[in-house]
Every structure is written in C-alpha cells, then in structure tokens.
Structure 1
Amino acid sequence: MTDQDATATPVFPPGRYGRRRAERRRRPWLTVLVGALVMVASAGIGYRLYKQYGDPEHSPRILSESERTADHVTIRFEVRSDGHNPSVCIVRARAQDGLVVGSAEVPVPAGKRSVQTYTLVTRERAFVVDIPKCRAA
C-alpha cells in the first residue's frame, strides 16, 4: 500500500450507502461574526441593567441606630450623591426571621453629602435595619 492510497478518499459502490454529500467549505468569518454579535448584545444588556439597578450616583450608608423598641427604630444615615438632585431612599427593618416589619421611602434633600435622622415605625421589634436603594427623586 502506498502513501497515496492511504490518503485517498474511499470509493463506495453506487447506490449502496445512500447519496454522499459534497464536502462543505468552512466559514470562519461566520463564527467570528456571530461571536461579535453575541458580545455586543451582552454588553448592551449589561449596560442597560447597570443603569437600571446599579445607580452609583446615590450611595447610602447607615451611621447609627438608636431607640430600638417594639414599635419603632430611629436611624441616622448619610447619602452621597452628585449634589444636584434630591433623592428618595427606601429604609427597611427586618425581624430576626427575615420578615420585613417596617418600610418607608424617605426624601433626602439635594447635596453632595446629606445626613438624615429618621424614625421608622415597625410592627414588631426590628433585628436589622438596611437601606437597599436610593434613587433620584
């Protein structure tokens, strides 16, 4: 057997194994194009979600808690923002089992750093208080 015979395509009897398809040409540009479109779409979706949920313009921070009783909790918090627009922050209190026992939207005036004190009314004693989100008013 020669090297030519080993690399040659086998010859099948006509009609025995069905119709043979012609070998298709590879299209690497199509794979690259589809990959680029997927990347552009992913970047667009990521940007849209970041603008909708990841607003860094209003960042809240709880400074202290006081007067934690069975029906209210008083918190002091700051909001850092661009300074041009007022904000609205969602203040939330949770019980030890994780249920929300009090929630409120607190208006915050415009300013680069605004410190607020707010008394949140609760249905039962709050275990933890957090500020999940602040947004432009």
Structure 2
Amino acid sequence: MSETHATIAPGTPVFPPGRYGRRREPGRRRPVLRALLVAVLLAAMGLVAARLYTQYGDPDYQADVITYTGITDSRVVVDFRVTLPPGGSATCLLRARAHDGAEVGHAEVAVTTRPGERHVTVRHEVPTTARPFIGEVLRCRPAD
C-alpha cells in the first residue's frame, strides 16, 4: 500500500523520492523569452517590409494613362502623365494588349522632368505585332 500525504491533491501521482529525478513545477513558463522572440520577429518583418516598399512601392514614381489612340494593326499611341521627384528621371514600361488579353507589344520610355517640376506628360507610340485593344503603363521606376 502506498503512502499518501495530506498536502497532495487527490488524483496526483506520488513518486518515491529520488527515484525518477527532479520533477518540473507545473505551469513554469518563460514570458520574457517569448516576448523577446516576438519583438525580434516583428522587427525583422518591419525591416523586410521597409526594404520591399522602397524597392517596389515608391510613390514618387507614379504614372497615369490619359488616353490611348491611333490604334492600327501595327501600333498604338499612349498618352500618359508621370509624377516624379522634382527634376528627376524615370524609365516607364508601356504595354499593348489584344482583345483576348495577350501582350502584342511593349516599349520602355525614358522620362525626364524639367528642374523644379514634378509632372510630365508624354506621348509614345508602341509598336505591335497584332491589332491592339488597349495601351497601358505597367510601371515607372527610377532611371538607371
């Protein structure tokens, strides 16, 4: 018959002293370590987000299509406006698509503003391999 102690809750197993090693206290946690790991993870995610934003999401280089005209079997003329840093320059990628969505032409256009200005309006002809349905500006990025 095993011995029970009055201080042990009913249903808790009783082990002979020294036989099974040291027992851990139930519910012992390390909240400082967990908080530190969460803080390091959030900092790393913030750095990655900032790097991706500066690489792909620069709001200083924004293009808006004004109109696309002059559609023939071999070209489309795209008029667009680019917002740049004052006196800056950019390279914009234009694309022409057919009615089924397939790309039928593309062109890279170098855009430069005059000193002190932030906006420039550009008209560029995009050569195509088939009749285009739409002309669009995919993106503008800082000039190399």
| TM-score, normalised by the number of residues in structure 1 | 0.85
Shift of 1:131: 1.1
| Aligned with residue 71 of structure 1, among 74, 90, 94 | 74
Q: Number of aligned pairs?
A: 135
The runs of 5 or more residues in structure 2 that have no matched partner are: 1-5
1:22 corresponds in structure 2 to: 23
Q: Which residue is 1:127 aligned to?
A: 133
Q: Which residue of 2 aligns with 1:86?
A: 89
CA-to-aligned-CA distance 1:56-93 (integer Å, 9 cap, x gap): 11110000111111110011110011122111110011
Structure with higher helix content: 1
| Residue 43 (structure 2) pairs with residue 36 (structure 1) | no
What amino acid is aligned across from residue 60 of structure 1 in structure 2? A
RMSD: 2.6
Identity of aligned residues (%): 36
Calculate the TM-score normalised by the size of structure 2.
0.81
Unaligned runs of 5+ in 1: none
Per mean C-alpha deviation after superposition, the further-off stretch among 40-49 and 24-33 is 24-33
Aligned equivalent of 2:3 = none
